[in-house]
Amino acid sequence: MADLSTDFLGIRSPNPFWLASAPPTDKQYNVERAFKAGWGGVVWKTLGEDPNVVNVNGPRYGAVHSNDRRLIALNNIELITDRPLEVNLREIAEVKKNWPDRALVVSLMVPCEEKNWKSIVPLVEATGADGIELNFGCPHGMSERGMGSAVGQVPEYIEMVTRWCKQTTRMPVIVKLTPNITDIRYPARAAKAGGGDAVSLINTVSSIMSIDLDNFAPTPTIDGKGSHGGMCGPAVKPMALNMVAEIARDAATRGLPISGIGGVTTWRDAAEFIALGCVTVQVCTAAMTYGFKIVEEMIDGLSDWMDRKGYRTIEDFRGRAVPNVTDWQYLNLNYVTKARIDQDLCIKCGRCHIACEDTSHQAITSMLDGVRHFEVIDEECVGCNLCVNVCPIDNCITMERISGVDPRTKRPIDPGYANWTTHPNNPASVKVAAE
């Protein structure tokens, strides 16, 4: 059976599945039940200074559902822990003592002053916790007070606070990044420059989930008003994967350990983050939706897949997808595909035809001899893949690589590799050729 254990900055855990800093990790009762269920580690709900913050007493969550009421995205306006610091620290020490084989990292957020950070870090160190995670990501409430993403959006602040923490502690320092920024590479570089041992990402995405059209206010609505919140869940996974990939392949941060966060719901999601270089993954929404036991499916699924693939350890496939993430300009322009419809699977709903006819390349028939019939016209198909994505039947439409002559362009397909950098239509490549 595959060995799922991980070593993240010297912090060992029996599997890569950690609970992210959030309500599932805000007290000893929760964390110990999570460990019993099998979670490899937790990042404790963000601690701040006393007096503790105060949350709204009205609704704090909003959501986007699929038509079958599956939770696609969750949004919240919750702040950091609203329990006294002393209570949290006492419980953290007890949990670490009771569960020495699990990872216990503590998330922190205090005002952006040297004395504040240098005062709280030793208190955490005294609990025996394995590490700290700096919450530079929370996009609501705390950011209005100059903390959270207000720090995470300024690389100079990230570097400065990270350095203060590194000067103060023996513990590994993980810098948790906000996705509410144009280019994730800059904050990641700053975390590294400040001496940060790792980054974790993403925190939540700034969002208004919906407007209630009866009282014209954002949801969740507190006495007629709403405020933007932080979005997470399956919908944010693509953004998170992209940001992780950017950091993994940036020359300045390549090799910087990463804990991947954002929409991890199944073992497959976790494997994707790990394939992009993450050592561990963190989970919040899936645990809040399905409960702590969901980790059992994650562990079994990942382990079975690794066995099937012959991977003995996480390291055997970690980072394997990074070299395959490239810039558009390096994609092979000689790779020609056409859509193929499996007539046995087709239920003749016509979605592919409408999509291609109205918004793509008029490359799918709708009738043959007066009967509904959907077939690809190779002379028109540009291989865009839209029909595959709108078809309601799995694997009914597939993309097939062709060779020989492309029926659309009537030109022979070069079997070699050629990209935009050398294409004759590229003004830059023409210039190079002319020089």
Please identify every residue annotated as catalytic.
138
Decide if residue 381 touches ligand SF4 (CB under 6 A): yes
Closest CB 375 distance from ligand SF4, rounded Å? 9
> What is the spatial distance between Cα 408 and Cα 388, in angstroms, rounded to a whole number?
19
Among 14, 137, 220, 257, binds ligand FMN (CB under 6 A): 137
Peptide bond into 202 cis (omega under 30): yes
Q: Hey, which residues between 311 and 350 contact ligand SF4 (CB under 6 A)?
A: 339, 341, 346-350
Q: Hey, which residues between 396 and 435 contact ligand SF4 (CB under 6 A)?
A: 396-397
Closest CA to 100 of 14, 200, 34, 7: 14
Nearer to ligand SF4, 278 or 387 (CB): 387
Among 385, 398, 419, 426, binds ligand SF4 (CB under 6 A): 385
Q: CB within 8 A of 12, min separation 6: which ones?
A: 5, 6, 101, 103
Strand partners, 133: 107, 174
Decide if residue 374 touches ligand SF4 (CB under 6 A): yes
Q: Is 408 helix (H, G, I), strand (E, B) or coil?
A: coil
Q: Hey, which residues between 145 and 204 contact ligand FMN (CB under 6 A)?
A: 176, 203-204
Q: Maximum Cα–Cα distance for the chain, whole Å?
A: 80
Residue 7 near residue 317 (C-beta atoms within 8 A): no
> What is the spatial distance between Cα 129 and Cα 237, in angstroms, rounded to a whole number?
29
- Which of ligand FMN, ligand SF4, none does residue 105 bind (CB under 5 to 8 Å by kind)? none
Residue 165 near residue 132 (C-beta atoms within 8 A): yes
Nearer to ligand FMN, 22 or 241 (CB): 22
Sign of CA dihedral 113, 116, 122, 127: negative
Q: Hey, which residues between 271 and 330 contact ligand FMN (CB under 6 A)?
A: 283-286
Nearer to ligand SF4, 301 or 350 (CB): 350
Stretch touching ligand FMN by CB under 6 A, among 7-15, 27-35, 231-239, 422-430: 231-239
Q: Which residues contact ligand FMN by CB under 6 A?
A: 20-23, 45-46, 74, 76, 78, 80, 107, 135, 137-138, 176, 203-204, 232-233, 236, 261-264, 283-286
